[in-house]
Structure formats: structure tokens, C-alpha cells
Structure 1
Amino acid sequence: MKNIVTLCLLCIIFITACAEKKLETFGDASVSIFEDVHLHFDMAFKENPAKGNDGILRLDAGRVIVKKVKLPTYQKQAKATINLTLTSNGDPWDKSGSMFIIPKTSNLTLVDFETGKFDLTTLNETYPVVSTYQKDSILHEPNVELLRFMTPFGVGYFTNDERVKSRKPVYIPHWESDVKWSQDITHLLPLLEDEIYVGVFIDTWTKEGYKLTATLNFEESNIPNHSKKKQTVVPLVNTAKYASGQRLYDEFSRSDLEVNFDMPETFKNAKLYYITTGHGGHAKGDEFVKKENKISLDGKEIKAFIPWRDDCSSFRRFNPTSATWKASEFYDDVDDCEKIASSDLSRSNWCPGSDILPEIIPLNNLSKGKHTLTISIPEAQTAKQGEDNYWMVSAYIIYDNE
């Protein structure tokens, strides 16, 4: 009898202990970041980037919008998805775009640069916000991209315009009314909690600009005691033009981009996420010519590839204002009657209307201490009068903590 009582007590203790370990649930959640927001260029924002009633900061003369949002903090594993819907509000061109977050660990951010809290010129750097900057107690970490995208030509605003009817190819049923992108960003969950700044950049130069809606969706695991994976995200570099005091990045034509970083612990199951797109709208610019990207870590090449998209014609329905020409101007042995649109042309890792997926490069286990990431695009061209050439690249490392 005594043994039975003892056994029962042990069972109660075990059940109680299991109950105590049960993780708190938060449930699925959808967080609205921006809702039908008008992003456009206006020099009035240069003088007054302050928040309006919508809580949005408009930086770089309105081409960057930033908002602080409150996100759920999960104890159980969750899936995170970023969703962005965009329409033209009168801008007929294809433009580079980026949705990003400002790391909370960075105590110097583009918000400080734009609102006058910190003078970029004191850094004595041509591109001061591209990579990690540490001086005394000041730490700047580059923005981490949630989504790289390219706006299509005039989607939505010009969809029913009489002037574009004749441009519609017979193989598409209609021009689309908007473009939608969705990407799984669960790997960035360590950054997606509590209050954070979320922003969008579009390289527009018109007062018409674009309208966009963005949400972050979370789906919590329904598996009991499915603990959240413990990981760390290390921001390394981001050459997108978020700050008004920064030029489009054409430095690859002159030198490699080196980023030094110091890790306080040994990496476990580390991966490098690398996003790259080439730009330059003239005929032989970096947008339209294949250029090899080389990535090295501590002097050893870990990835070399040519970022390229040759499926751009599949996005034709999103591009009502794309210019068209005789296909014979681009290809040999093509009938003179056949036409090709600008949006159909192959490009350096993007199409008008596409999003861009990161290259994921396994790094396995890396030792504690100092490391150097080197990015090289040896045939990149210099920007010059009338011929922009630049590369938007960003990279961050993710590793397991256990």
C-alpha cells in the first residue's frame, strides 16, 4: 500500500511539473503595418518628416516611410509571413523597393540621420549607413530586409486607361489591378517581437508615387510544448538608399565591399542570407548585363553566381505602361511584326513586378572571434552622367543558440 501511495505521489509531481512547463499560447495574429498609404516624393517632407496622425515618418523627401509597430512575442514556435500589396498612384515607371526593419540593438538609425539627431557628415564616410558602425558607445547596424521588390509599370492606376488598351498582348486576359507579394520570413522571428520600426523604400521621384498595404501574419504552432527555436540574427550590410545623405551604391566598380564583424560565441548551424539586384536602365547597364557576384568569408570564397531573371514576360499583365518595340531590334531572325515590352526583358535578378528571394548560403559552424565578409562584383560599372549603375545588396547571418 505504501508503495502505491508513493507511486501516486510521484505521478502527481510529474504531471504538475509537465503542466508547469506547458508554454503559454498567443494564437495566430495579423498585424497591420501600413494600410493604403501613399508613398511619394515631395520636398516638403524634407523640411518636415515628423509623424502625422497615421504615426508615419516620411524620410528622404517621402521616398522612405517608417512606422513603429507592436508585435506579439511568442514562446511557442510560430510561422511569420510578410504580405505587401501595391498599386501605382500615377507613377508609370518600374522602381526598386525594399521593406525593412531597424534592428532594436542599433542605437543609431536612419531616423536619427533624417530628424537631425545625428549628422552624417561627422562620420566622414561616403556610405555611412551601409554596414555596422561602432564608435565608443555608438552602434549603428544596417537595416534588415523583410522583402526586396520591384514595382511594375503603372499597375492599377493605368489598368483601365484608354491609351494602354492597344498594348495588351492577346495572351493575357486583362491588366491586373494591383501586385501582391508574400514571403515566409520565419527565420527573422528573433527580430519580430515587441516594438520595432518597420519601413518601406521605393525609388520614386514623382508626387504621384504609389499606394501600398502591408501586414505581418503569425501562425502559432498547434503542437503542444513546441518551443520557439532560439536563434540570433546578425545584420551585416545593406546598400539600399534609405538615407537622404547617401548616393546609390556604385562602389563595386571600384572595390570590393568588406564587412568586419566580431562574434562573441561559436556559430552553430549558421547561414548567410544574401539579397542582390543590379540596376542601370540604359541598354548596356548593370540592369541588363550579366554580372557575377562573389561572396567570401575570411578570404575563402563561399558562393559565386550570376543573379539573373529570364522569365520577365510572365509578369506582363502587371505592366500596362511598359514601352514596346519591334522584337527584331533585340533578337535576330524575329518577325518585324512581333513586339516586345521593356518589362519582358531579362534583368539582374529581378523583373518589373517581382519580389526577390534571398540566396541562402550554409556556413555550418564558425569559431568565436573576428570575421570578414567580402562581396565582389568585379565587372560592375561606374555610374556616370545619364547612365546610373548601382547594386542593391544586403546580407545577414542567422545561427542557432542551442
Structure 2
Amino acid sequence: MKLHYLLAVILICFIKEDLAAQIQFQSTPETYRIRYASFNNGKPSNRGSNILVYTNANQTLLTNEKDYSGAGSFPLEMTLIDRSNLAQQMITLLSEDASIATTDTASIKSQHFQYLDDTKTILGFACKKAKTIVNSNTIEFWYTQALPVKGAPTALGQDLGLVLEMVRNGNAALVAQEVKKVFDPLPAYFKSIHPKQLDLLSYKDEIWRSRFQSIPLFKDQIINFSKEDTTAPPEVMRFANGTIVVRKIKFPELDRAKNIFIELKEQSNGDAYDRTGTVFLIPTEKQQSFLDGLKNGVNQLPVYENGNGKKYQGVVSTANFDPAIELMRFFTPFGIKGYNHIELKGKDWHEVVPYRQDISDFASVLSGNEIYIGVFIGNYDKGGHKITAEITLHPGGRDAPKKVIPLFNTLNIMEMAGQEYATMFDQSAGLVVNFELKEPAKNAVLRYTTTGHGGWGNGDEFVPKENTVLLDNKVVFKMVPWREDCGSYRLFNPASGNFSSGLSSSDLSRSNWCPGTVTNPYIIQLGDLPAGKHTIQVKIPQGEREGKSFSAWNVSGAILAD
């Protein structure tokens, strides 16, 4: 069935009732088929399929061997060029019952070339050389005028002659392997299709989106400090006075080699300040879960204590509880969009801040499961913030770990519902997590995210502090997490305070975060871990309290292993 639809797309092309200017590929006694192979640095490339070009005095059709034979996979893209006006008609089969089309009359006509004196022979044909530059890439063309047809393996160079070789940047080449005269390449069983006509930009966007799967999480969702919110759809649960939103999402079965990304976009809806944000996943396999605390109060969560008199709720793994798994930590800028009315000369504020992170390591947790995924932005503002978030699933990529073992997450996601700040690092022992592996963990790593907080001059937000991680009393990680590039994001921060020094608050270096950025995790190699009991310890020389001001460290960690 796919072959029938594909061949219809390639050569039957357009239907009269759908398109005013129908063009159908008409084979003539002077139609030639050219087959091109790919080479990298002079060696055959295994990427893709050999390109096929059918061309005559009137038309040129671009396809490839896999698609022509029906062995290609969706989306299947084809191009038909009308030589009378060099217009391209592009058709793509998105699935067996969905196709789109567009027309481009400008790109071929706008091409410019430098004609060179070099010559060589390809497949017995004398060829001349031309070159052009596209997006900083130098493209060289070897073309012959010994045949009564023109054409090329891409839209570039279609009007030079018959291009038999294209070379990009001196190393990537498409080289003709065969030039053969054919009369009727159309199989008798071709069937017609009815492509939906789109403008060129929409056409390209639909093709791009068809290459991956999107799982929407939240759309224009308000995260604010308010018990009431009539804007949240029924599937969105709000907690901690609206500063947390959670959805239950059903994921398809995932190939372990999927690339998985999370993307979130944020705008101020009233809050002018930089705030801690996190996208998190709630494990529910054990007797208790973080969801119990969200629904029934923070005191329902198991407590961690280290001798400083504080009770830290729901931050470490126990036999009956797993903390929230952090997928992405982000920080809002100072008032993007909501405060763009603040004018400074030479500052054209951005409208939205995008955050995007690879979360492929969590494929084994997501695959085929119903998952609770939430977003938190700490704020006490009734307007708060507006977010849109989605997860995208892409083919390819490296194998993901088979095991995800959440160990700790001290970010107080329920801050606005009374969860304690992560001040446990005021003790020399810091954070100590005991855990047991029921079976060995091969090639184990600790995915460790850390940011320091305390927003005054001596607070740990602005003071570099060494983080030390120990596994079974042996140091496996020691470094100072610090960001010195915060000034790069000034245009995200219209409400950032400006100082007499000429700096803005958003310019200042911080303990592993900047207003308007994602904080990347550290991947700490642990090696092969035997079954049995183990201990992870995190030590940070937390700054001392100054009056009502105090420092805290938000650290999260999960072991990933085969």
C-alpha cells in the first residue's frame, strides 16, 4: 500500500480539482534517469539512499531509490521542477493517508554561481565547474552540457546543465553513478493523491514536526500564588497555593535509543523576580510518594534529620519512599514579557524565555507508563508566571540506562506549603543517604544537579562553594559549581535591578545558575556497583545565617545504570 501512495506522490503529483496549475511528470523519448551516490572524504557514505533524478527538456523529478521502491519511511519528500519557469512543486507524504504540497517559484531563479575554468570527465561526459556559497558552505558543481537535458541531485544548480557531481566544503559529495535514457518509468498501478496545499513555511514546519512525536504537558498554564485559578483545565492539578501544577501523562512504549527532550517556555504574568523552577517526575512504585504530600500536606512525607534541629520533608529515598526525580531545573528571569514596558536605551527585551534539555536518560522510567509530571516555580505573586511545556520524542540516539534510582532532592518544591529549605549543609556531615541495591548496577553514574541560594552579599548564591560527593566514604566528585556568563542573558531581564556600578542584578555571577537559564546536571562516574548497602554523602560548606538571611543548597541526584 505504501508503495502505491509513494509512487503516486512522486510522479502523478497534482490533481486538477486540488491545484489550479497541475503539472504531471510526462516521460518522453529524451528522458534520462541519473543515479547519485554519497561520499565523505572520498569514501562511500552509508547515510541515506542513492538519489534518483528523472529529467527531460520539460521537467525534472527528484527522489531516491528507497522511496521509489517503496522501502522509504515517512515523511516521503519529492520535488518536481517545471523547466519552463523553474518553479518547484514539492509534495510530501506524511502517512499513507495524509499528504501536503507547496510551490516555490523563487529559490532556483535566485541562485548565483561563479563559473570556473576547471574541466574533467565524469562517466564519459566532459564537465565544467561552477561554485556558489550557501549558508557559509562552499558548493562546487561539475556539470555537462553534452546532453539535451538539465538537472541536479538537489534544487541547487538545476539550470547549469546536467550536474554529475556536487561537493560541499571539499569533502561531502554526490556523484553520478549512472546516466541512462528511459522512456516510461511510471508503473501501471500508480494511484493519485489529494495533497493539502500550504504556504512554503507551513509546509516545511509540518514536515519538521512529522519527524518526531510531541507530548503536550501544559499550555499557557499560570503558576502563581493563589488558591483559586479558573484557567487551569480539568486534567491539571494545582498544589501549594498554585505554585505547583501536575499532570498525569501516558507515555508510549519507547525504544531505548530514543532522544527525549523537554521544552518549557516562560513569561512573567506579574512576578518581577528571578525564581527557582523545576520540572519533576513523581515515582509511585513505593508505598509512599511525593504525591501524598502534595495532596495531604507536607507532614505526610518522611523526614530527614541530621542533628541541626530541622526536619526536612521528603528529600531522601527510604525503603518506602522515593523523592521527586528532577528532569530539568530552570530559573526565571526578572519579569520577561510582563515588564517589557521598562525602557532602557539599546535594550530590546525578549518576549519569552525558552528552556530545553535532553532527558533521554529517563527513557526506562517513562516508557509505556502513566507518569505524574509537575512544574514548580517558587513565588508569592498573584499573577505569577505563564508556562507552556512539552516533551518531544525523536528517533535515534544512544542507548539509555536501564535503571533509574532516585536518591535525593533537597529542592523544596512545596516551599509555599511549608516544606523546609535545604539548610542541612550547615552541619559537617551535610546530606547522607543510605540505600540498598537489590542487584548489581553496571556502568553506574550519579546525575547530580546543584545550585546555591541566599540572596545577599555573603549568601551562597553569590559566594563560590566547593561541592564534595562521596560514595561509600570515598570522594567521587569535588568541584565549585559557578556561572560567570549571566550577563549574556540581560535581554531576558527587563526588571533586573541596576546598580551604581553599571551592572545589573542579572549580570552577577552565581552558584551554578543565572536568571533565565537551565542548570545542567553533572554526570559523575561511579563504575560498577555491587548489590548491597551503600551510602551517598554530599558536603557543602554552607554560609552562616545573618539575621533573617540564610543560605540553602538545592541538590538532586539519581543513579543511572545498566
TM-score band, normalised by shorter chain:
0.7 to 0.9
1:96 aligns with 2:271: no
Aligned to 1:233: 404
1:367 aligns with 2:367: no
Contact 2:298 2:313 in 1 (8 A): no
TM-score by length of 2: 0.58
1:344 aligns with 2:480: no
Aligned to 2:160: none
- Of 314, 319, 329, 1:129 maps to 314
Output the amino acid matched with 1:157.
Answer: G
Return the offset for 1:366: 1.4
Contact 1:84 1:213 in 2 (8 A): yes
Contact 1:120 1:245 in 2 (8 A): no
Output the amino acid matched with 2:242.
Answer: G
Going from structure 1 to structure 2, the CA distance change for 1:30 and 1:150 (only over 3 Å counts) comes to same
Return the offset for 1:236: 0.4
1:206 aligns with 2:381: yes
Alpha-carbon distance in 1 for matches of 2:287, 2:349: 45
Aligned to 1:71: 251
Aligned to 2:241: 61
Return the offset for 1:221: 3.1
Aligned to 2:543: 381
Return the offset for 1:182: 0.7
Output the amino acid matched with 1:158.
Answer: Y
- How far does the alpha carbon of each residue in 1:192-220 deviate from its partner, in whole angstroms, 9 at most, with x for none? 23210000111111101000000000012
Contact 2:360 2:400 in 1 (8 A): no
1:390 aligns with 2:527: no
Output the amino acid matched with 1:179.
Answer: V
Aligned to 1:110: 290
Q: Name structure 1 gaps, 5 residues minimum.
A: 1-25, 328-338
Contact 1:76 1:220 in 2 (8 A): no
Going from structure 1 to structure 2, the CA distance change for 1:382 and 1:42 (only over 3 Å counts) comes to farther
Task: Give secondary structure in 2 for the equivalent of 1:340.
Answer: coil
Alpha-carbon distance in 2 for matches of 1:396, 1:188: 10
Going from structure 1 to structure 2, the CA distance change for 1:229 and 1:395 (only over 3 Å counts) comes to closer
Alpha-carbon distance in 2 for matches of 1:364, 1:195: 31
Aligned to 1:22: none
Aligned to 2:361: 187
Contact 1:383 1:390 in 2 (8 A): no
Identity %: 37
Aligned length in residues: 344
- How far does the alpha carbon of each residue in 1:22-63 deviate from its partner, in whole angstroms, 9 at most, with x for none? xxxx98310000111000012458xxxx99643112111111
Q: Name structure 2 gaps, 5 residues minimum.
A: 1-209, 306-310
Output the amino acid matched with 1:153.
Answer: F
Alpha-carbon distance in 2 for matches of 1:306, 1:229: 28
- How far does the alpha carbon of each residue in 1:381-402 deviate from its partner, in whole angstroms, 9 at most, with x for none? 24454313111100001001xx
Output the amino acid matched with 1:165.
Answer: E
- How far does the alpha carbon of each residue in 1:111-136 deviate from its partner, in whole angstroms, 9 at most, with x for none? 212322885388586113001123xx
- How far does the alpha carbon of each residue in 1:365-389 deviate from its partner, in whole angstroms, 9 at most, with x for none? 11111100000002x0244543131
Return the offset for 1:359: 0.5
Alpha-carbon distance in 1 for matches of 2:294, 2:386: 22
Output the amino acid matched with 2:374.
Answer: G
What is the 5 A alignment of 1:141-152?
A: 141-152=322-333
Comparing both chains, which one has the higher relative contact order based on Cα–Cα distances under 8 Å and sequence gaps of 6 or more?
1
TM-score by length of 1: 0.81
What is the 5 A alignment of 1:3-402?
A: 28-43=212-227, 53-75=233-255, 77-116=257-296, 119-120=299-300, 126-134=311-319, 139-159=320-340, 161=341, 164-166=342-344, 168=345, 170=346, 172=347, 174-193=348-367, 194-221=369-396, 229=400, 231-243=402-414, 244-255=417-428, 256-327=430-501, 339-378=502-541, 380-383=542-545, 385-400=547-562
Task: Give secondary structure in 1 for the equivalent of 2:421.
Answer: coil
Q: CA RMSD in A?
A: 2.4
Task: Give secondary structure in 1 for the equivalent of 2:491.
Answer: helix
Q: Tell me which protein shows more strand as a share of its residues.
A: 2
Output the amino acid matched with 2:318.
Answer: Y
Task: Give secondary structure in 2 for the equivalent of 1:61.
Answer: helix
Going from structure 1 to structure 2, the CA distance change for 1:237 and 1:140 (only over 3 Å counts) comes to same
Contact 1:150 1:352 in 2 (8 A): yes
Going from structure 1 to structure 2, the CA distance change for 1:106 and 1:34 (only over 3 Å counts) comes to farther
Contact 1:147 1:355 in 2 (8 A): yes
Q: Tell me which protein shows more helix as a share of its residues.
A: 1
Which stretch of structure 1 is more off in the superposition, 238-247 or 383-392? 383-392
